[in-house]
Structure 1
Amino acid sequence: MIMVELSSAPSLAVLYPKAVLTGFRRRGGELPDTVYTLSGVTVDRKHLAAYNRVCGFRLVDELPLTYPHLLTYPLQIKLMAGRDFPFPLVGSVHVANRITRHRPLHLGDRLDLRVHLENLRDHPRGRQFDMVGEVLVDGEVVWTDVSTYLRRGGGTTKAERGEHAEPPPSTATWRVPDDIGRRYGEVSGDRNPIHLYRLTARMFGFPRAIAHGMWTKARCLAAFEGRLPDAYTVDVAFKLPVLLPAKVAFWADERGGGWEFGLSDARTGKPHLAGEIF
């Protein structure tokens, strides 16, 4: 792998237009073997508080499990906007996310970030790949994030179709406002047009703006605050998008020393997210 040390976080305002304008040139191929690193990152207290408010976490100095994803996100987009990345950024669908934390992270920690791509593979609906982000403290990996993306098209087999299983009884019902995509986009930097407005979402085939998958994961984890250990893994699959505004049902079931949980449409029961904590 080729290690590239960055001196500052890449600008998403620059990278997004670049990725959109050059996406039509991408025709598949192998993943780049570049590893981007950024050292000595500290967390801004106001930014952490804004994130916690949007996602439903308490205002404390400990970083929520999902927060470091925001720190690595500009490095991820820099990889996906590079001329050697084989797929257009727009249209690459975030289908799953797994985060492992080996110990809590706090505001005073100095964090080193590392991001790379791996595991390009076939999928019934196209190709999948993993974006891997890591946070190190004093040379030790303390947090790992694996985001799986699907690029539709060129699949070699037909996708399997099945009925949605009936979810367990909900433990909470949440109303998701129509501006949550804009609010999360403001704090995360992820201003993909499918999350912002009805009109911009329609340009990409959605009837209304949709919530960010990582917001739905964070909002579910906020419901577990005070009940999780210092070290754990949360693995989720993103199912049907949450069309905004929405009314969603959250359920959680303690099993085998961990948890299973999910988010579904409160009216139809169709799943938005399925996850487990272990």
Structure 2
Amino acid sequence: MTQATRLNFNQTPGTLSQYARALFAKGSGQKEPQLPSLEAMQTGVRADRNKVIAYADVCGFDSAAAQLPLTYPHILAFPLHMELMLHKSFPLALMGLVHIRNSISQYRAIDCQEKLDIRCFISNSERTDKGLEFDIKTEIDIAGERVWESVSTNLARIGGGAKKVASNQLRPALPQFEMAERWLLASNLGRRYARVSGDSNPIHLFAASAKLFGFKSHIAHGMWSKARTAAALQKKLGSDACRITTEFKLPVFLPTTVELNYNRGEQTMAFDLRDTKGQKVHMKGEIQRL
């Protein structure tokens, strides 16, 4: 078994410089890229209280809470994700990757003042009809105790994947939900979230910058949609220890109005995020007690 290349960081890498590097990272161009064994670590990470408050305000969490929002550790780990994908041995162009799934498990509430040890590494990969899927797993410990972990699945669109099986079947009807709430998303949402998350991918910032990458307009961050959903549903679930899993289906073009649909449950709550006509599902998943 090949030993992993370990990247150790004493300070959090700057995401603006990372995106500058990403714009020029072209990937290897290999038809059958092999993902390297890479991991990145940073110990003793403490969240900046002012940044946590700003993030909570943008994503709908309680900004007065003494604990980190459920999705905030992803923000602390995200610069390490970037370093993995910008490493010289990583064969894929970062700017072409699509975040398609994400699972977050929190085992207890995390106080804003606690010091976190963060480890991220490239995990499973799989060829599909759309390209190459791979996972980045994040593990966060406090004094040796596992308190939070996640799996982010990304897709690199590469030709020559497994053949898609043709189907003449009609699409199944979308599920019915008990509850719904609507959110008005402003045109500047992507820029607001970029300031609090460090994710300054041009596809989220302006219509003009998104069009350079093939989008008709700029789109909301998938992790904003997930965070906003977590903020709405975790308090209804009533548990600090929980798991929220999501599939990102269709982009949310800004500005727009979307609808969060969900079922109430004591242990598990299923949900999806749709357009107001109820025809396009942007994201779906569930949140459950642990």
Q: TM-score, normalised by structure 1?
A: 0.95
How far apart are the structure 1 equivalents of 2:17 and 2:207? Answer: 24
- AA aligned to 2:173 is A
Kindly indicate whether residue 66 of structure 2 is the aligned counterpart of residue 61 of structure 1: yes
- How big is the shift at 1:256? 7.0
- How big is the shift at 1:156? 2.1
1:23 to 13, 16, 26: 26
The 8 Å contact of residues 57 and 225 in structure 1, kept in 2 or not, is answered as no
How far apart are the structure 2 equivalents of 1:229 and 1:52? Answer: 18
How far apart are the structure 2 equivalents of 1:199 and 1:193? Answer: 9
What residue is the counterpart of 2:153 in the other structure?
148
1:152-194 deviations in Å (ceiling 9; x for gaps): 1222212667626324255111111111000001111111010
What's the secondary structure of 2:176's corresponding residue? coil
* Unaligned stretches of 5+ residues in structure 2: none
1:212 to 196, 211, 221: 221
The 8 Å contact of residues 263 and 273 in structure 1, kept in 2 or not, is answered as yes
2:264 to 242, 254, 263: 254
Kindly indicate whether residue 200 of structure 2 is the aligned counterpart of residue 191 of structure 1: yes
What residue is the counterpart of 1:14 in the other structure?
17
CA change 1:204–1:172 in 2 (3 A) is same
What residue is the counterpart of 1:177 in the other structure?
186
Trace 1:235-246 onto structure 2 (pairs within 5 A): 235-246=245-256
- RMSD of Structure 2 on Structure 1 (CA): 1.7
1:7-43 deviations in Å (ceiling 9; x for gaps): 1111212222222212254435222212111011111
What residue is the counterpart of 1:269 in the other structure?
279
The 8 Å contact of residues 27 and 91 in structure 2, kept in 1 or not, is answered as no
How far apart are the structure 1 equivalents of 2:222 and 2:173? Answer: 20
- How big is the shift at 1:133? 1.1
What residue is the counterpart of 2:53 in the other structure?
49
How far apart are the structure 2 equivalents of 1:200 and 1:17? Answer: 14
Kindly indicate whether residue 201 of structure 2 is the aligned counterpart of residue 201 of structure 1: no
How far apart are the structure 2 equivalents of 1:25 and 1:109? Answer: 40
Which deviates more, 132-141 or 17-26?
17-26
CA change 1:113–1:195 in 2 (3 A) is same
- AA aligned to 1:38 is Q
The 8 Å contact of residues 63 and 106 in structure 1, kept in 2 or not, is answered as yes
- How big is the shift at 1:268? 4.5
* Unaligned stretches of 5+ residues in structure 1: none
The 8 Å contact of residues 28 and 91 in structure 2, kept in 1 or not, is answered as no
What's the secondary structure of 2:25's corresponding residue? helix
The 8 Å contact of residues 129 and 164 in structure 2, kept in 1 or not, is answered as yes
What's the secondary structure of 1:15's corresponding residue? helix
Kindly indicate whether residue 37 of structure 2 is the aligned counterpart of residue 33 of structure 1: yes
What residue is the counterpart of 2:163 in the other structure?
157
The 8 Å contact of residues 31 and 118 in structure 1, kept in 2 or not, is answered as no
1:74-133 deviations in Å (ceiling 9; x for gaps): 000001011111110011100000000111101111111111001111111111000111
What residue is the counterpart of 1:83 in the other structure?
88
Q: TM-score, normalised by structure 2?
A: 0.91
Q: What is the count of residue pairs matched by the alignment? A: 278
Q: Percent identity?
A: 38
What's the secondary structure of 2:138's corresponding residue? strand
Moved over 6 A (4+): 159-162
How far apart are the structure 2 equivalents of 1:39 and 1:89? Answer: 25
What residue is the counterpart of 2:106 in the other structure?
101
